[in-house]
Amino acid sequence: MTVNHAASRPESIRVPRILSIAGTDPTGGAGVQADLKSISAMGGYAMAVVTALVAQNTRGVRSVHLPPVSFLREQLEAVSDDVEIDGVKIGMLADADTVTTVKSWLDEVRPPIVVLDPVMVATSGDRLLAEDAEAAVRDLCRSADLITPNVPELAVLADASEAQTWADAVAQARLVSARCDTVVLVKGGHLVGDRVHDALVDARSDPEGSPVPDGLFEADAPRVDTDCTHGTGCTLSSAMATRLAAGDDWPTALITVKAWLTRALRSADALHVGQGHGPVDHFVDLR
């Protein structure tokens, strides 16, 4: 007798199928490689479509090769024509044509959860988004359920100077949330202080049914003393996509992901990967 395991599995424990759309990192700490680890660590089934081939390591980016956007579209269609997608995480898009191609596909497929990490600058300081693509990324934000900019990226989206305090960062997140009509996860890792604050901010004009209580939910954790911060943005955004697609409410997803990422940062030095900003330990809970 043949058993249909998918049909017999209780819906509450179904494995969320998450697609990462991002660039590569040969050293495995960022980009689609980090996303695949993050999605898996959070209990999802990980898939990936490559937007850019990036020659980088823990010390910086050496070069970027962009495949034709026609091939990007073929990758996207190959997944969505065959697999039911529960959530999408979008990372490095590099240029305006790539952004437009991804947005067109999103508008047609419209996955249940879309998390956009508006990648503009790598941890090393290397720019990963053409300046003429910033307007296209702002437009893409409207197609996302959640965007996860770091402090410098948030300033670009807000057309403001980089925030120096947590209060300023939250204020910019409110502005971007209202302007882009989406929820913003503002991250305080770039700010100074013994504790790192993150917050879900929802300042959309129609608060009806907001997943964020009272439009603001904050979580904090002790700052981890480590240089191993390569790919933390990729890691956080793909983890959030996975937990939201798995059915967590938004505050629970943030609490779960932030606690896991803190553990991953604490054990990162033990990996001994690279001579620059090393990766986090995505599978810390398995060791």
Q: For this structure, is 232 an active site residue?
A: yes
Give the number of other CB atoms < 10 A from CB of residue 95. Answer: 17
Partners of residue 195 on adjacent β-strands: 222
For 278, residues 6+ apart whose C-beta sits below 8 A from its C-beta are: 29, 58, 227, 228, 230, 268, 269, 271, 272
Give kind and range of the element (H or E) at residue 241. Answer: helix 232-245
- Which member of 148, 187, 235, 256 is catalytic? 187
- Which member of 27, 58, 232, 256 is catalytic? 232
- Which member of 234, 235, 256, 278 is catalytic? 234
User: Tokens 């302007």 — which residue?
Assistant: 179
Q: For this structure, is 188 an active site residue?
A: no
Q: For this structure, is 234 an active site residue?
A: yes
- Which member of 233, 256, 258, 278 is catalytic? 233
User: Tokens 């998450």 — which residue?
Assistant: 18
- Which member of 24, 98, 148, 229 is catalytic? 229
Give the number of other CB atoms < 10 A from CB of residue 52. Answer: 22
Q: Residue 208 is encoded by which pair of tokens?
A: 């009806």
Please give the Cα distance from 112 to 86 (Å, whole number): 6
- Which member of 23, 44, 188, 231 is catalytic? 231
Q: For this structure, is 165 an active site residue?
A: no
Closest Cα to residue 257, out of 137, 104, 100, 89?
A: 89
Q: For this structure, is 51 an active site residue?
A: no
131-167: b (≥16 Cβ within 10 Å) or e: eebbebbbebbebbbbbbbbbebbbbbbeeebbeebe
Active site residues: 187, 229, 231-234
